[in-house]
Structure 1
Amino acid sequence: MSLQMYTSFVRFLRLASLLLLGVAEGAWAQTTSPVTAPNLPATQAPPLPPRPNQPDSVGQAKRRVAPARPKHLRIETEAADQIVLRRYRVRATAADTLEAMRSVRELLLAMQADAYLTASADTMQWRGDTLAVRLYVGEQFRWARLQRGNLTEDVLTHTGFRERLYLGQPLVPTELARLQQRVLENAENEGFPFAQIRLDSVQLEGSDITARLTLDRGPVVEFDSLQIIGNTKTRKRFLSKYLQILPGQPYSQQRVDAAVRLLRQLPYVQLKAEPEVRFARGRARVYLLLDDRNANQFDAIVGVLPNPNPTAEQRRVQLTGDVTLNLRNLGGGGKQLGLQWRKIGTASQLLDVGYQHPSFFGSPLDVAASFNLFKQDSTFLTLRPRLQIGYPAAKAGRFSVFVEQRSSRLYPRRNLPTLQALPENIDSRYTAYGVDFSRSTLDDLLFPRQGLLLTGQAAVGNKIISRNAYVNPELYEGLPLRTTQVSLSGRAEYYLRIGQQGVLLGRVRGEALLNRRLFLNDLFRLGGLATLRGFSELQFYAAQYGIGTVELRQFTGPDAYVFLFADQAYLRRALPGDLGEDAPTGLGAGLSFRTGAGLFQFVYSVGRSNSQRFSLGASKIHFGITSRF
């Protein structure tokens, strides 16, 4: 056998071992590439160059070592391979010998990733400060054909594999590893967690490779049960339906992985460790280590606000109130009930009531109903009931569809029959159908340190204006009584850790109401502690608005922190003849800490708008106790 034939035979054995052994490792260890190391000879590290100013003997006086000089890299290859080598940026100098060796390794890995599978550094030798490398490039290997083997049609559909996509294409190890990974993930989500994949019938003709994929599925595995370990009253039946880990269904690694994200969306449980799966006799049992956390909430907040226009019977300072009650995980079944009452002014108040029922009739859907009441002194009353059906997805978030009705009617007043134009508020009814989306990657729902929260909503419906019996009917002439109305809203929050205890919060939120003819009681209301700090509760009317918030929090405990904030808003009324544009700004500081009675919060803020300057006399103070049980 000639030397050339022997060399070709050795390189073929090397290539076959890379494909077969690399694929096997990818199937078991799920590595990203079958090629785990460049093809360097066994003695890949050449002798180090002599160190300058080295003492000749132990007794010789020590001399000062000169700074290390940069090392040079010289790569020698065949003339025909110089064109290929020019595609790669190889640094000609290195700071030290280790960096020079690393440059050679990175070059070989890059070439092997581009289908030059037999590329290797045949010899490496130091010549003074220069590392001379004899590089073998070899040929770029291509797929003559990669056959589907025993892969079924459903596997091909889920993985996107097609034989025509590999005809005459370079054999890129990373692409092959990704294909293997997709096949394995599909198998382990269909009840075969011990599946293995390999290349079979590998043939080499020159630089063209023919092979076929072979999938060994292994034994079929089904879910056995869900086991809860820890101090929690949450029912196993509810969690099993919520996580869709049901006995008798094919095992799915995807559902096990999704359990972590889904459990973090529940404020009343805390996952203490990653889920653990134990296999036995063709069945898989999933163990969850959960503890209950205090998520039921009772808030009582009192606001002290100056009265800008006090009458003879009113005081110069007025009090506002906010009472919130949230009961979560009722009976251990994940049901939630909420109630909020807010006194906004002297005779204005707001009421919100909501109920959510998860896993409705054993399905992954949840059903929610809410009711909102808003009374504006003796001017109008607005009611808004809503029914919503949602589906929680582990990766994509929660999607919901809803229907709601908003009806507003005026209170009878003496001046209504004498009006010469339509009043700024109107009797109307609006029925809308819409979609709602939310996605959270927060590490904690109650006191987040990092993560992202996204919410969005869109609705469309018919708005019908009703004729008020106390208003002159002639004033309604020319007014469109039936129109299409669109409402949009969105919110994005991002929490970023700063140091060990610092958190920077960035928030953007806004809403828009689109209609041919809007009235004052159609508009959104904002201002106050929940929306725009530094101003009175629900002080502003807006058809479109946006609010940006920057808040710096410094935690002093698990649920205690001090903070500084800045709120910047832009809003417009978009009423006929009254755009009402404004850009209010709110600044302030506060603190929150736990006491024996609950979580105490104190907020001091000042605001500036078109009708208000930054002034200590117009500042707002909010304080209250939040009790969790």
Structure 2
Amino acid sequence: MPKPPETHKVADIEVVGNFDLPAKELLRFFPVKPGQKIDPNALRRAAGLLQRQLQANGYLYAHIDSVKLERGGQNNGARIFIYGASGRLVKFGAIKVVADSLSPEEYQSELSIRAGEPFAKNRIDEGIQRILRLAADKGFPFAEASIDSARIINRKGQFSVAVKIAVHEHQPVFIKDILIRGNTYTKDRVILRELDLFPGMRYSERKIAKVVEQLNRLNIFKSVNEPEILRVSPDSVLIRIDVEEGNATLFNGVVGYIPETAKTALGKSGGYFTGLIDLAFRNLFGTGRKFMVHWKKADRYSEDFNFSYSEPWVFNFPVDLGLGLNRVVRDTTYIEWQNFIRGELRFFGHLKAILSVRKKTIIPDSAASHDLRLPLSDVWSGEAGIVYDTRDDLLNPRRGLYFRNSYSWGVKKITGPGYLIREDSLTTRDVLQSVALDVEGYLPLWRNQVAAVAAHIRQIKGKQLSLGDYFWFGGSRTLRGYRENQFSAPLISWVNLEYRFLLNKNSRVFLFNDWGYYQQRSPAELKELLYGYGLGIRLETPLGILGVDYGLGKGDSFSRGKIHFGLVNTF
């Protein structure tokens, strides 16, 4: 069996020779550091690497003659001696770009090189790649660029390199057609209208690079491949995009019946139904239209029902219109009805405006009117806001930013009961104003690991606020480790911190830490800072994306943790 090579611990490193740069700076390029153990046979490779690093950083005439190792250094360690010379530092001189079609000044700015900076060949190579990307974005995808000449100039012992780069764009290229493959259900026009491309336009590398992101935002495809560029003539190309359609229809139903018992019969007759029904069409008739129905009844006293419909690209403009209806029964306290119409106008790829009109009706239980001073009321309101979204994927983003800010103004009309209006001296009309802010950020770290941060704020103001005007939070979508909608107040905020391990395109496991805060001043001052922590999973299944979170709230023991379970609905 061969004997392993002998290694030595490096105590110190000494530079011997004529070097123009300080030893400390030179040793930054040397791969061996004091304290490391090294095989003497590796010193030749280290010397070669040091010489190449010096030459790549402007010392074109650098040479390392030898690297020697001697025993008997500090603490019986080994000493390394580096022999050689750096030569004079060579800097960039004048850089000239000549081109056949586009302005040389446009290309010059892409180089990001200034005269007087240390010469580095790799910076020219990187600049040429940026030049070619610019040419491709301007309609010349088959352009060529290379160093036409490079002259070393010596002026009074100062060395510089004058470089001339030649760009040959050839003839401009146009898109002859765009071919979509794999869409057996979705209509071609639904896909093509999302792109910044159309037949007859000049080729644009930047717009083609956005195709995958733009189609993923539709949230109807399982996968979208990078576009293929097929040259069909010297001046035209065919763009081919392969897609795989996902399951755009979701149905999930669980219904149970709780029979009458001695406990359930108190004050009520008979048993009752519980359950959950989700029905969603995210690509109705292959047109991109969306329709959703949701019903949830957790117990005898609570119920949640909502319906919504969205029509995209109204009259072939980038305008989406939607309408919906919500009905919420809050634990026998009151029934809330909401009807709304909303619109979204896309200005640019990532920016859009939102507008909505909403009517909300609060119908309180008689006990809630008396004990909680909750009046019967109608609120008509309008909302305006902006959304900026650069996330690379809506379901499982790797990177990007989401920002939403809106302002709402409404008129609240109190219609009863009469005794409450008289006893509390309520006016029948009140003006309500509210703001909402949502910010999310996603940062890729190591392979398939993402840090996610989200912050949310809601606030409403009015002279006669009541429970029906408050914001509710807690549970799987806001503050995990607590019951669904456990807290309510006119001012709420929460922060979600997650460290995610991505399993595939739509699946992940993660650790989370949530923080929440709420505050109200009437009828009594009340505020509290909350926190929750735990772990969760999002797993893609044939029925949809299954979500399970286990969270612990403030003061919870392990046995009192909350499990949040459901199918993720992105409609």
Shorter chain as denominator, the TM-score bin is 0.7 to 0.9
- Aligned residues of 2:479 and 2:494 also touching (Cα < 8 A): no
Deviates more, 1:426-435 or 1:150-159: 150-159
Give the C-alpha shift of residue 191 in structure 1.
1.1
Partner of 1:513: 459
Deviations 1:507-566 (A, max 9, x none): 7553321536543222222345555566554332143132547699998x99999x8987
Match status 1:67 vs 2:6? yes
Partner of 1:312: 266
| Structure 1 letter corresponding to 2:17 | T
Deviates more, 1:514-523 or 1:214-223: 514-523
1:472 to 411, 421, 426: 421
Match status 1:96 vs 2:39? yes
TM-score of the superposed pair, with normalisation by structure 2: 0.74
Paired with 1:115 and 1:412, the residues of 2 have a C-alpha distance of: 79
1:437 to 388, 403, 425: 388
- Aligned residues of 2:97 and 2:108 also touching (Cα < 8 A): no
- Aligned residues of 1:492 and 1:509 also touching (Cα < 8 A): no
Secondary structure of residue in 2 paired with 1:451: coil
Partner of 1:171: 119
Secondary structure of residue in 2 paired with 1:250: coil
Instruction: Summarize the alignment of residues 128-139 of structure 1 with structure 2, pairs less than 5 Å apart.
Output: 134-139=83-88
| Structure 2 letter corresponding to 1:485 | S
- Aligned residues of 1:606 and 1:614 also touching (Cα < 8 A): no
Partner of 1:242: 194
Distance verdict in 2 for CA 1:544–1:311, change over 3 Å: farther
Give the C-alpha shift of residue 459 in structure 1.
0.8
Partner of 2:63: 120
2:128 to 177, 180, 185: 180
Deviates more, 1:212-221 or 1:142-151: 142-151
Paired with 2:270 and 2:446, the residues of 1 have a C-alpha distance of: 43
Distance verdict in 2 for CA 1:151–1:418, change over 3 Å: same
Deviates more, 1:206-215 or 1:265-274: 265-274
- Aligned residues of 1:602 and 1:621 also touching (Cα < 8 A): no
- Aligned residues of 1:124 and 1:131 also touching (Cα < 8 A): no
Distance verdict in 2 for CA 1:494–1:105, change over 3 Å: same
Give the C-alpha shift of residue 415 in structure 1.
8.3
2:17 to 77, 89, 110: 77
Secondary structure of residue in 1 paired with 2:184: coil
Instruction: Summarize the alignment of residues 317-466 of structure 1 with structure 2, pairs less than 5 Å apart.
Output: 320-343=274-297, 346=300, 348-359=302-313, 361-362=315-316, 365-376=318-329, 377=332, 379=334, 381-389=336-344, 391=346, 398-411=350-363, 423=374, 427-441=378-392, 445=395, 451=398, 455-466=402-413
Paired with 2:146 and 2:536, the residues of 1 have a C-alpha distance of: 62
Give the C-alpha shift of residue 402 in structure 1.
0.6
Partner of 1:279: 231
- Aligned residues of 1:323 and 1:340 also touching (Cα < 8 A): yes
CA RMSD of aligned residues (A): 5.1
Paired with 2:164 and 2:314, the residues of 1 have a C-alpha distance of: 47
Paired with 1:212 and 1:558, the residues of 2 have a C-alpha distance of: 45
Partner of 1:216: 168
Deviates more, 1:281-290 or 1:135-144: 135-144
Partner of 1:262: 214
Partner of 2:76: none
Give the C-alpha shift of residue 193 in structure 1.
0.8
Secondary structure of residue in 1 paired with 2:48: helix
Q: Give ranges in structure 1 of 5+ residues lacking alignment.
A: 1-61
Secondary structure of residue in 2 paired with 1:440: coil
Deviates more, 1:368-377 or 1:286-295: 368-377
Match status 1:196 vs 2:144? yes
Distance verdict in 2 for CA 1:70–1:176, change over 3 Å: same
Aligned length in residues: 543
Paired with 1:336 and 1:468, the residues of 2 have a C-alpha distance of: 36
TM-score of the superposed pair, with normalisation by structure 1: 0.68
| Structure 2 letter corresponding to 1:572 | Y
| Structure 1 letter corresponding to 2:133 | E
Percent identity between the aligned chains? 17
Secondary structure of residue in 1 paired with 2:50: helix
Paired with 1:590 and 1:114, the residues of 2 have a C-alpha distance of: 48
Distance verdict in 2 for CA 1:602–1:312, change over 3 Å: farther
Distance verdict in 2 for CA 1:159–1:549, change over 3 Å: same
Give the C-alpha shift of residue 241 in structure 1.
2.6
Q: Give ranges in structure 2 of 5+ residues lacking alignment.
A: 72-78
Give the C-alpha shift of residue 290 in structure 1.
2.5
Match status 1:539 vs 2:539? no
- Aligned residues of 1:467 and 1:476 also touching (Cα < 8 A): no
Deviations 1:567-590 (A, max 9, x none): 755331424223242637587999
The higher radius of gyration belongs to 1
Deviations 1:105-132 (A, max 9, x none): 33234323432233234x4477889987
| Structure 1 letter corresponding to 2:240 | Y
Paired with 1:92 and 1:410, the residues of 2 have a C-alpha distance of: 73
Distance verdict in 2 for CA 1:541–1:567, change over 3 Å: farther
| Structure 1 letter corresponding to 2:248 | A
Paired with 1:213 and 1:66, the residues of 2 have a C-alpha distance of: 49
| Structure 2 letter corresponding to 1:111 | L
- Aligned residues of 1:156 and 1:162 also touching (Cα < 8 A): no
Partner of 1:16: none
- Aligned residues of 1:385 and 1:404 also touching (Cα < 8 A): yes
Paired with 1:414 and 1:488, the residues of 2 have a C-alpha distance of: 35
Secondary structure of residue in 1 paired with 2:203: coil
1:87 to 21, 25, 37: 25
Paired with 2:495 and 2:117, the residues of 1 have a C-alpha distance of: 52
Partner of 1:524: 471
Paired with 1:140 and 1:188, the residues of 2 have a C-alpha distance of: 35
| Structure 1 letter corresponding to 2:294 | Q
Partner of 1:4: none
Give the C-alpha shift of residue 428 in structure 1.
3.7
Deviations 1:284-340 (A, max 9, x none): 112233322223101224589999x97822489975433222112233333322232
| Structure 1 letter corresponding to 2:46 | S
Paired with 1:627 and 1:319, the residues of 2 have a C-alpha distance of: 23
| Structure 2 letter corresponding to 1:77 | G
Higher relative contact order (CA 8 A, sep 6+): 1
| Structure 1 letter corresponding to 2:25 | R
Instruction: Summarize the alignment of residues 488-507 of structure 1 with structure 2, pairs less than 5 Å apart.
Output: 488-491=437-440
